[in-house]
């Protein structure tokens, strides 16, 4: 996977003046645009869009110092107006393009290279488990994306569940963990910039079909799942484990992501200080490993 990341960095470098589509990204890295951008964000600490923007502005900076006109540079790197380019350039560098030209001010943002960096010999507990096709029945809503802290919109969704809905969900629940699951899917394209929304479902896993008008159902296709147990303060431990899955475990594992919802559950024990949770990530064996 690290090789694919580096191949994409090379591709971006030679296409900075062109539109880089999700289709281009998927073809190079062998993952969906969404899944790759999610991994990139956790590994790089910024969104792929921000990386591309920073590289373009860094190269533009060099060209301005070397005598290029602001008008030419603005349109070369995809800006619709000189004002738009000047505003973006100032936000990035702290200076207007005219000041950079006059005073030869240089700010750089180097091209990324990815490699394995082992830190402290930490290991992650996980297991790979095959799950047959199953349903999740519950309630859902579009909620704002939030990487840290408790999401108020999700809490509001949980509090909106009626006693009748709760009883109906319990009637259908016949699969592990026999308790509430949190399921996230349909992320907006700007997910990694912590903007936009995703669909969040609170429900139970079941082999049954939903007969109730006031509940919703999604079907999860058969897949392998990487399951990561974690225990500690909630929600910090859960969020930190998620980041490690994408930034540390996945790039060095024998698995790649499958386009299915993300699932987690938490066993509340009356306190948020030492809570047990599990994160389920749908995966498949890498093709190269199968052939090898």
Domain count, the chain: 2
Please tell me whether residues 86 and 213 are part of one structural domain.
Answer: no
Residue 231 burial (10 A CB sphere; 0-12, 13-18, 19+): middle
246 and 136 part of one domain: yes
Q: Are residues 177 and 58 in the same domain?
A: no
Q: Could you tell me the residue range of the domain that residue 164 belongs to?
A: 127-287
- What average pLDDT score do residues 104-117 get? 82
Q: Is 62 helix (H, G, I), strand (E, B) or coil?
A: helix
pLDDT of 123 reads: 61
Burial 75-111 (b: 16+ CB within 10 A, else e): ebbbbeeeeebbebbeebbebebeebbeeebeeebee
Helix, strand or coil, per DSSP, at residue 20: coil
pLDDT (0 to 100) of residue 90: 95
277 and 138 together in one domain: yes
pLDDT of residue 291: 41
Shared domain check, 99 and 131: no
Contact criterion met (CB below 8 Å) for 47 and 79: no
List Cα–Cα distances, 116 to 2, 248, 250, in angstroms. 8, 9, 12
Task: Please give the pLDDT value at position 34.
Answer: 67
Residue predicted with more confidence, 72 or 194: 72
* Of 278 and 123, more confident: 278
* 177: preceding bond cis by omega (within 30 degrees): yes
pLDDT digits (tens, 9 = 90+) for 124-137: 789 999 999 999 99
pLDDT of residue 246: 83
Do 176 and 274 sit in the same domain of this protein?
A: yes
174-196 pLDDT, tens per residue?
999 999 999 999 877 554 444 57
**115 in a structural domain:** no
- For residues 252 and 168, membership in a common domain is answered with yes
| Residue 42: strand, helix, or coil | helix
Question: Is 68 in the same domain as 146?
Answer: no
Looking at the fold, whether 132 and 247 belong to one and the same domain comes out as yes
Of 103, 118, 147, which residue is a domain's last? 103
Q: Is residue 236 part of a domain?
A: yes
């Amino acid at each position: 996977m690290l090789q694919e990341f580096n191949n994409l960095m090379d591709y971006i470098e030679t296409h900075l003046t062109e539109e880089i589509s999700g289709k281009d990204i998927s073809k190079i890295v062998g993952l969906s645009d969404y899944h790759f951008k999610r991994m990139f964000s956790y590994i790089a600490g910024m969104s792929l869009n921000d990386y591309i923007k920073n590289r373009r502005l860094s190269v533009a900076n060099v060209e301005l110092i070397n005598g290029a006109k602001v008008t030419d540079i603005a349109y070369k790197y995809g800006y619709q107006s000189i004002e738009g380019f000047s505003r973006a350039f100032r936000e990035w560098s702290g200076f207007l393009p005219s000041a950079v030209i006059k005073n030869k001010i240089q700010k750089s943002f180097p091209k990324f290279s990815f490699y394995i960096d082992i830190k402290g010999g930490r290991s992650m507990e996980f297991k790979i488990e095959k799950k047959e096709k199953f349903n999740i029945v519950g309630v859902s809503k579009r909620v704002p994306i939030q990487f840290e802290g408790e999401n108020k919109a999700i809490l509001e969704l949980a509090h909106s569940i009626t006693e009748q809905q709760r009883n109906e969900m319990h009637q259908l629940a016949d699969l592990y963990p026999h308790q509430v699951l949190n399921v996230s899917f349909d992320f907006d394209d700007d997910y990694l910039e912590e903007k936009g929304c995703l669909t969040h479902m609170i429900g139970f896993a079941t082999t049954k079909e939903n007969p109730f008008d006031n509940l919703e159902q999604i079907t999860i296709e058969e897949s392998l799942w990487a399951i990561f147990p974690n225990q500690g303060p909630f929600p910090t431990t859960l969020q930190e484990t998620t980041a490690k899955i994408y930034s540390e475990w996945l790039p060095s594992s024998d698995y790649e992501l499958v386009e299915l919802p993300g699932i987690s559950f938490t066993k509340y024990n009356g306190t948020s200080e030492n809570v047990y949770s599990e994160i389920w990530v749908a995966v498949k064996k890498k093709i190269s490993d199968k052939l090898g």
